[in-house]
Structures are given as structure tokens and as C-alpha cells.
Amino acid sequence: MRNAVPTTFAEMWSSDRALQNQAYHDVLGAIREPVDWAYEVWDQVVSNLRHKDNHNRSIAAQVLCGLAKSDPEQRILRDFDALFAITRDERFVTARHALQALWQVGAAGEQQKERLVEALAGRFADCQAEKNCTLIRYDIVEVLRRLYDAAPDETVRAKALALIEAEDGLKYRKKYATLWRNA
């Protein structure tokens, strides 16, 4: 475990995009592996899920997903709804970045995986009226695949395949299925 918060951590919330991006990359690099400082920054990261700047919301969602592996108290379950809400962000790019990082939450433990898979299935079903529905659905199927690759579980595979079959459009069903060809 890494035992020191990156010195650039506070700069992730900076309005200077160059500083912010460097800090973001430093922190993402640090949290590739479990860290013992997750709870030192946890509440700050969670509070930034509601920041007025969509860039900060996106960063917060991605960092919180990465910190899930460093969360023996399973705080992520307490904060899951706030995190998952970002998948409906008013800025689609923010929503998409958050969605694509969620597999890390499911890989952190059995309860986290169950909560995530249930939420993703719900999101798959209820996004039909949204402008970018097929892209959201593709991302959901991809998140399930990344989760399966990180922590193989036949229930995850079965849920992904069931969601693919639930897609009405043959073109999109085929596109989603390409993600699971070698599983």
C-alpha cells in the first residue's frame, strides 16, 4: 500500500486546468493499487460529486471509483447513490466518464458488485428515452465486461448477456455482443 496522499491532490479541484490535469493523473497513478490514505480524502472526493464544475464532478467520480479498492469499511456502499447519480449528469461527457469507471467499484467486493450490477441493469432499462441511449447501453455492457475481466463471475456475464438480449434493435444487440465474444 502507498501511505502518502499525493502532494498534488488538492490541485485536482483547481481552476487552473493544467494543474488540475497533472494532479488528476498523479492521483489516478497512485490509486492503481490500494492506498492507505483513502479515508483522508474520501469526504472531500464525495463532496466534489456535487461541485458546480462538471470537470470536478467527473474527476471526483473517477477517483472515488478508484478508491473503492482501498475501502475496507465499505463506505462506497453508503455513497453509492451519489456516485451513481453522476451517470445522469447534465453534461454527457461527465456522465460517461463516471459510468466507464464504475467497474472498479464492483471489483472491490461482493456487496459492491451486487449493488453495481443491479444499478447498471436499472440504468440500462430506464435510459431508453435519453438522447444517447445506445451509447449508454454500450458503456454499461462494457463496464460489466471490465468487471468480469477484473473479477470473473458468471452472474455478471449472465446479466450482461441478458441485457444484450433485451435490446430491441438487432444492429445494437450485435454491437453490444462484440464486447463478450471471447468470454
Helices within the chain (DSSP H only): 17-30, 38-47, 54-67, 75-85, 92-101, 103-106, 110-126, 133-150, 154-166, 170-177
- The pLDDT of residue 160: 98
Q: Residue 94's beta-bridge partner residues? A: none
In sequence order, the 6+-apart residues with CB closer than 8 A to the CB of 78 are none
- The pLDDT of residue 1: 53
- The pLDDT of residue 2: 59
In sequence order, the 6+-apart residues with CB closer than 8 A to the CB of 25 are none
**DSSP letter, residue 69:** G
At which residue does the C-alpha cell 473517477 appear? 62
Average pLDDT, 10 consecutive residues per value, the chain (183 residues): 85 96 96 96 98 97 98 98 97 98 98 98 95 97 98 97 96 97 81
- The pLDDT of residue 170: 96
